[in-house]
Amino acid sequence: MFYAEIWLESIEEMTVKRILTGIRPTGALHVGHYVGALENWLQLQARYECYFLIADYQALGDHFHEIDLIRDSVIQVTLDWLAVGLDPERSSFVIQSYVPEHAELTMLLSFITPLGMLERNPTLKAELDELPVERRTVGFYNYPMSQVADILLPQARLVPVGDDQAPHVEMTREVARKFNRMFGEVFPVPDTLIGRIPRLRGTDGAAKMSKSKGNVISLSDDRETVRRKVMSMYTDPTRLRATDPGHVEGNPVFEYHDAFNPDKGQVEDFKHRYREGKVGDVEVKQALAEALNRFLDPIRERRSRFEANPRQIEDALMHGTGRARKLAAETMRQVRAAMRIDSYTSRWE
Ligand code: TRP
């Protein structure tokens, strides 16, 4: 596993060729996605062959009752990607369900994958715990398996993701090795690349931003919304007055300053004064709202350009998906040949 700070060196050593990563289309992307993953993707796309997957099959896992949301989100996520600067000329944007080989490979790999791999997966376990019983479907339980297929189908070597996804990449490595051992070398064993800020807290101080908790700042929020969300952010609960010494560690307001405020001098000054009880939360938050808005302004501007041009959104999706289909067909040819399920009648030839 690699972390963003060391990515350059490590990646050179690994001679990465192809990268795959993805997102489930279940809502607009937020600033946690940016520092946890998208920021890495932007750097990687300049130098490697990148496949960015919109995992709509996977989204069915916990949103099968909200197909309209998935449909809207496919477009929203594409817009978010274009808005942050992912470039569909260089990289391939792929709609998962338009490449049916994803489903075929998921099924084939499931026959060599022990149940224990799913049972032990900590991300899956935590998500299942949060799902009401009637929504714990076989499909949901199996989604890490489909993610393994997502990564192996284009034969990716590196998977840049947020840290909650690391167990799925770990599982991918195990399945790839097992397949190669049983049937011959088909799949590279991929590495994980974790973003600069593996997990950005929610605005309510919760460990993670998640749309269902309403504690996110979206990449598409307007200036006023961002300001309002920041001003009501959770901060140091032990501090009643601006003259009380405050806690900086574990305080999301300061974590966000570290993540988004490029003026490090200002951030250090705030931290110092906060600890001493010499600055109020309001002033620190106002500066944060401004920093976030400055960070988001260029993203908003690009978004509105693409919004005015729906053809470009569609073209981006269709080109990328077309490229992915070619790769998928080639991998499946290799897989079927390796497993010897491709030529039953040849024994009579
Ligand atoms: N599980 C990822 C998410 O929740 C989405 C995803 C699907 C993915 N397939 C992938 C990520 C393959 C990395 C690689 O956003």
Question: Of 1, 18, 19, 21, which is best to mutate to test ligand 1, by the most ligand atoms within 8 angstroms of its C-beta?
Answer: 21
pTM: 0.92
Return the pLDDT at 211: 79
Please work out whether the CB of residue 165 comes within 6 Å of at least one atom of ligand 1.
Answer: yes
pLDDT digits (tens, 9 = 90+) for 25-79: 999 999 999 998 999 999 999 989 999 999 999 999 989 999 999 999 999 999 9
Q: By percentage, how much of the chain surpasses pLDDT 90?
A: 86
- The token pair at 221 is 């929020």
Contact 190, 169 (CB under 8 A): yes
Please work out whether the CB of residue 38 comes within 6 Å of at least one atom of ligand 1.
Answer: no
Please state which CATH number belongs to domain 2-201+310-348. 3.40.50.620
Q: Can you say whether the dihedral through the CA atoms of 251, 255, 261, 263 is positive or negative?
A: positive
pLDDT digits (tens, 9 = 90+) for 200-214: 999 999 988 887 788
Q: Which atom of ligand 1 approaches the CA of 55 most closely?
A: 7
**Cα separation values, 4 from 35, 39, 43, 232, 237, Å:** 10, 9, 10, 31, 32
State in Å: Cα 67 to ligand 1 middle. Answer: 18
Please work out whether the CB of residue 151 comes within 6 Å of at least one atom of ligand 1.
Answer: yes
Classify residue 144 by burial, with Cβ atoms within 10 Å: 0-12, 13-18, 19+. Answer: buried
Return the pLDDT at 33: 94
Q: By percentage, how much of the chain surpasses pLDDT 70?
A: 95
State in Å: Cα 171 to ligand 1 middle. Answer: 13
Please work out whether the CB of residue 53 comes within 6 Å of at least one atom of ligand 1.
Answer: yes
State in Å: Cα 139 to ligand 1 middle. Answer: 15
CA distance 306 to 83: 8
Question: Is 12's pLDDT higher than 60?
Answer: no
CA distance 145 to 42: 27
pLDDT digits (tens, 9 = 90+) for 86-97: 999 999 999 999
Please work out whether the CB of residue 328 comes within 6 Å of at least one atom of ligand 1.
Answer: no
Classify residue 345 by burial, with Cβ atoms within 10 Å: 0-12, 13-18, 19+. Answer: exposed
Nearest Cα residue to atom 8 of ligand 1: 22
Class of domain 221-305: mainly alpha
- Residue 260: beta bridge partners? none
Question: 188: helix, coil or strand?
Answer: coil
CA distance 302 to 108: 41
Question: Of 18, 150, 158, 191, which is best to mutate to test ligand 1, by the most ligand atoms within 8 angstroms of its C-beta?
Answer: 150
Please work out whether the CB of residue 296 comes within 6 Å of at least one atom of ligand 1.
Answer: no
State in Å: Cα 204 to ligand 1 middle. Answer: 25
Question: Is 4's pLDDT higher than 70?
Answer: no
Please work out whether the CB of residue 21 comes within 6 Å of at least one atom of ligand 1.
Answer: yes
Phi, psi at 53, each rounded to 5°: -100, 130
Q: Would you list the domain boundaries of the chain? A: 2-201+310-348, 221-305
State in Å: Cα 143 to ligand 1 middle. Answer: 9
Return the pLDDT at 35: 93
State in Å: Cα 106 to ligand 1 middle. Answer: 14
